[in-house]
Structure 1
Amino acid sequence: MKLLIVIPALGAVYGGTSKCVVELAQALGNLGITVDLVATNANGSEVIEAPVKTWLAKTNYRLQFFPYKGIGDYKFSFSLSKWLFQHIGDYDLVQTNAIFSVPNLAAYWACQWYNIPYVIIPHGMLDPWALSYKALKKRIYYTLLEKPALQNASALQMLASTEAEQIKPLNLKTPITIAPNGIHRQDFEKLPNPEPFYQQFPATRNKTLIIFLGRIDPKKGLDLLATAFGKIHSKFSDTHLIIAGPDNIGFLPTAKDYFANAGCLDAVTFTGMLTGSLKYAALAAASIYVAPSYSEGFSMSVLEGMASGLPCVITTGCNFPEAAAANVAHVVDIDAEAIANALTQCLQFPQQAKEMGTRARQLIFEQYTWDSIAKKLIQVYTAIIHNQPI
C-alpha cells in the first residue's frame, strides 16, 4: 500500500494536530506500508527551517515541504497544488488532515480527477463549537467547497465516538471510521527527573502543580480554568498552575487578564510551548492535569497526561467519554464550577487521585498506543482500496 498524507502545515506552533499526524505516519510506516507526507512549511509567523520541494527521509516515512503564501487565515501553495495533481496517481490512498484549508482543496480535486480514494480527518473542526467560531466565513466555505469534498470522500476518520455523533446534523452520507490519537508507550514508561523544569521555572518548586498543556486559544477554556483555579487556590494556597503552550494568535494578554480578574495570576506560570525532555520533566513535576476545553477532536495532551499517571480533570468537550466510563478521569461539564469541584476532589483526596491516575496510565498503555491504532487503520484502508465496506 502506498499512502499519501496531506496536512496544511506541520509547524510545532500548531500543537497536537501536527504531532499526531507525524506520529501516525511513523506508526503506519513501521508496519511496512509506504508513507509519504506533504505539507507547507508554515510555522505561525515564521517558516520551518528545512529544504522545500525535496524529499526528507524520516523514520519509516518521507516528508516534503512546500513554500506558501499566507493571506489572512488561509495558506496558498501553488507548488504543493501542482505537485498533488502531478503525483496523486502514484498512491493507492490519500489521507487529508484538517478542513477549511486551501491546500487540502487541491488534494480533494486531484483525487476526484484521478479516481484515487481519499479519507478526511477533520480533527474536531466539524463539531458545533468549532463551526460557531467565525461562523459566517466557515458557512460560506463549507457550502461551496468543504461539503462537496466531504461527500465525495471514501470515509471520514473521526477521532472519537462523540465527534462522530456531533456531525450527524450535517447529514453527510460518507462512511465513518473511528481511530483515536495515541502515544508511544516507551515515552512514558519512565518519566525523567523534574529538576530541569524546576531550574527553568523556579516559581514552581515546592508547589502542588496543576498542568495545562495546549495552545493559548479561545477554544481551550482558559476563561473557565481561571475562574476554577481562582476558587481552589484560595483554599489550597500551595497550588500553582502551569500553562504550557504556544500563543499563535496573540491571545496571551486576554488569557492573563482572565487569571488577573480571578485574583490568581501570581500563582500561574506561562511557560510557552514545552517539547522533548522539558515537557516530560514538567509532567513529572505535576500533580494534576487539567483540560478545560470547549472543543477538541481528541486531545493528544490528555493522552499524555493520563500516560504520565496523573489524575486528570477534563471537560466533555475533550471527546473522551470512555475515560469516564472506565473511571480513569474526572470528566465534567464545560463549566468553571464543575472544573473547580473536580480539582478540589483531587486535592482533598490525593491517594484516590493517585489511584485514578494509575488506572488511566494502564488504559492508555493497553488501548491508545500508535502501534495498535495503526494496525486497525491498515485494515480499514485496505478495505477502502478494494472497495469493501468499512
Structure 2
Amino acid sequence: MKILHVVHSLVPGEYRGGISKVAHELAAAQARAGHLVEVLTTTMNSRVPTDIAAGTVTPVDGVTIRYFHAAGSRGARGYSPTLRQHLLEVASGFDALHGHNPLTPLSRYLAEAARRSGPPLFTHLHGALNPYGQQSWYRYFRRLAYVRCIEAAAMRANQGLFCLSEHESREAVKLLGFDNTRIIPNGTSLAGKPIQADGQRFRERYQLGDAPVLLFMGRIFSIKGVHLLAEAFVQLAAERPDLRLVLVGSREQFPDYVAQVDAILAPWSHRVTWTGFLNDQQKFDALSAATVFCHPSESEGMAMAVLEAMAAGAPCLLGKGCFMKDAATAGAILECEFAAESIRRQAHRLLHDDSLRQHLARRGPEHIAAHHSWDAIAQQTISAYGGASVSNMQASSRAA
C-alpha cells in the first residue's frame, strides 16, 4: 500500500510538539510493515523556521520526507501553496491520505485532494477538539460556529477520523456531526524496549546532585497546569529543603505566562531549573533523572511526553485531563485534579513512598508495551485504510 502523510512540521530527533513525532513514528512503523510511505511537510519546526531548504527530500527510517516552503506569517499554521500544488498533483498515486493538522490549511488541502483524486482520506484529531478553550459560553459557541461553518466541509471529505479517546470521539460527533470515528491511541517507539539514557549525566549538567527531582516536560502554557505545579512546589519545597523542580520546555513561546510562573516560584528560584528545548536523547536523560514526572494538564489528546515518561519507568503523576484512565485503573500512573492542592498532596505521597514509586516504575513500562506499541497501532491504521479502499471500489462498481 502507498500511504501519504501530511503534517505541518517534522524534523526527526528535534520534535517541537507531539504531533510531528506521532506522524514520523507512525509512518516509520507502517514502512516497517512493508508499505511505501511518504510525508509532506513544511520548512517550519512548530513556529520556528528551520534551515532546511524547500525542495529537500530526505529518507529517514524507511520514510521519504519532502519539505515545502511555509509562506509568510501564516506558514506557522501550515499555509504552503507549493505543498498544496504538489499534493494535488501526486495524490492520485497513493492508496491512502493521512492528515495530522485539523483546523489548519493543510486539512483543507487534503480535503481538496481527496475530492479530486479519490484516495480515501483519514485525519488524526490529535486533541484539536479538546475541552480547553470552551470554558465559557462565548468561547464554546465561537468555536462551534467556526468548526461547523469553516472546517466541517473539510472533515466531511474524510473516510474516518482517528480519535485518541472516547471523549475525543464524542467531541467529533458533537462538533462536526461526524460519527465515522476510530479510537486509535498514540504509541511510542520506546514501547517494550530498553532505553539508552543517563540520568547522572543530566544531573551533572544541571547541578542537581542527588536531590529528589519533580520533572515537567512540555509546552509552558496554562493548559498544562505549570502554574499549579509551581504553586504545589512552593508548598513542597518548604517541607523538603532538598527538593528540586525541573521544567523542560521553551520560555519564549508564551512569555506572559512564563512571567506568571516565575513570580510564583520567585522565593525558591534557586531550586528551580529551566532547561529550554531538549532533543530526544536529552529528554530521555531527564526522565531517567526524575524522581517524579508530573504532567497535571487540564486537557490533552494523549501527550507523547507522558507515554515516553511511562515507558522510561519514571513514576508519573498525571492530570485527569490527560485521559489516561486505563493506565490509572491498571495501576501504572497516579492521577490528580487540575488544582494545586491535589498536585501537592499526590506529589507528597509519591515523594515519601518508595514502594509506590517502584510500583509505578514497573507498571508504567508494562502498560506502554501492552497498549502503545507503534507496530500494533500501525496495523490498526492499515486496516482502516484497507476497509475504506474496498468501500470506495464497491461504490465505484455500483456507480458504473
Q: What is the aligned partner in structure 1 of residue 380 from structure 2?
A: 376
Task: Go from structure 1 to structure 2 and tell me whether the alpha carbon gap of 1:246 and 1:258 turns closer, same or farther (over 3 Å shift).
Answer: closer
Please give the per-residue CA displacement for 1:125-160, whole angstroms capped at 9, x wherever unaligned.
111215569948755542332111222311110122
Of residues 354, 357, 365, the one that matches 1:350 is: 354
Alpha carbons 2:9, 2:46 under 8 Å: kept: no
Of residues 236, 239, 251, the one that matches 1:235 is: 239
Of residues 331, 339, 358, the one that matches 1:327 is: 331
Q: Which amino acid aligns with 2:132?
A: W
Instruction: Please give the alpha-carbon distance, in whole angstroms, between the structure 2 residues aligned to 1:160 and 1:9.
Output: 24
Instruction: Please give the alpha-carbon distance, in whole angstroms, between the structure 1 residues aligned to 2:185 and 2:390.
Output: 23
1:113 aligns with 2:116: yes
Q: Which amino acid aligns with 2:130?
A: D
Matched residue of 2:132: which SS? helix
Task: Go from structure 1 to structure 2 and tell me whether the alpha carbon gap of 1:166 and 1:343 turns closer, same or farther (over 3 Å shift).
Answer: farther
Of residues 97, 101, 105, the one that matches 1:102 is: 105
Superposition pairs of residues 82-97 of structure 1, within 5 angstroms: 82-97=85-100
Task: Go from structure 1 to structure 2 and tell me whether the alpha carbon gap of 1:232 and 1:97 turns closer, same or farther (over 3 Å shift).
Answer: same
Q: What is the aligned partner in structure 2 of residue 255 from structure 1?
A: 258
Matched residue of 1:3: which SS? strand
Please give the per-residue CA displacement for 1:189-221, whole angstroms capped at 9, x wherever unaligned.
14433232123211x222101111111223211
Name the count of aligned residue pairs: 387
Unpaired runs of at least 5, structure 1: none
Q: How much has 1:184 moved relative to structure 2? A: 1.9
Task: Go from structure 1 to structure 2 and tell me whether the alpha carbon gap of 1:343 and 1:157 turns closer, same or farther (over 3 Å shift).
Answer: same
The more displaced of 20-29 and 369-378 is 369-378
Of residues 177, 185, 204, the one that matches 1:180 is: 185
Matched residue of 2:178: which SS? coil
Please give the per-residue CA displacement for 1:71-98, whole angstroms capped at 9, x wherever unaligned.
3563421111111111111111101002
Question: Normalization by structure 1: what TM-score?
Answer: 0.92
Matched residue of 1:289: which SS? strand
Q: What is the aligned partner in structure 2 of residue 271 from structure 1?
A: 275
Instruction: Please give the alpha-carbon distance, in whole angstroms, between the structure 2 residues aligned to 1:110 and 1:28.
Output: 22
Instruction: Please give the alpha-carbon distance, in whole angstroms, between the structure 2 residues aligned to 1:13 and 1:181.
Output: 15
Alpha carbons 1:214, 1:244 under 8 Å: kept: yes
Q: What is the aligned partner in structure 2 of residue 151 from structure 1?
A: 156
Task: Go from structure 1 to structure 2 and tell me whether the alpha carbon gap of 1:54 and 1:13 turns closer, same or farther (over 3 Å shift).
Answer: closer
Matched residue of 2:151: which SS? helix
Identity %: 26
Q: Which amino acid aligns with 1:197?
A: F
Please give the per-residue CA displacement for 1:212-262, whole angstroms capped at 9, x wherever unaligned.
11112232111111112122222122211111123462x245325324325
Alpha carbons 2:92, 2:117 under 8 Å: kept: yes
Q: How much has 1:35 moved relative to structure 2? A: 0.7
Matched residue of 2:155: which SS? helix
Q: What is the aligned partner in structure 2 of residue 7 from structure 1?
A: 7
Q: How much has 1:268 moved relative to structure 2? A: 1.4
Instruction: Please give the alpha-carbon distance, in whole angstroms, between the structure 2 residues aligned to 1:297 and 1:209.
Output: 26
Task: Go from structure 1 to structure 2 and tell me whether the alpha carbon gap of 1:138 and 1:9 turns closer, same or farther (over 3 Å shift).
Answer: farther
Instruction: Please give the alpha-carbon distance, in whole angstroms, between the structure 1 residues aligned to 2:195 and 2:81.
Output: 45
Matched residue of 1:227: which SS? helix
Instruction: Please give the alpha-carbon distance, in whole angstroms, between the structure 2 residues aligned to 1:237 and 1:259.
Output: 19
Q: How much has 1:266 moved relative to structure 2? A: 2.6
Alpha carbons 1:3, 1:94 under 8 Å: kept: yes
Matched residue of 2:391: which SS? coil
Task: Go from structure 1 to structure 2 and tell me whether the alpha carbon gap of 1:60 and 1:126 turns closer, same or farther (over 3 Å shift).
Answer: same
Matched residue of 1:120: which SS? strand
Alpha carbons 2:288, 2:312 under 8 Å: kept: yes
Q: Which amino acid aligns with 1:221?
A: G
Superposition pairs of residues 296-311 of structure 1, within 5 angstroms: 296-311=300-315
1:64 aligns with 2:69: no
Alpha carbons 1:245, 1:273 under 8 Å: kept: yes
Q: What is the aligned partner in structure 2 of residue 196 from structure 1?
A: 201
Instruction: Please give the alpha-carbon distance, in whole angstroms, between the structure 2 residues aligned to 1:386 and 1:125.
Output: 29
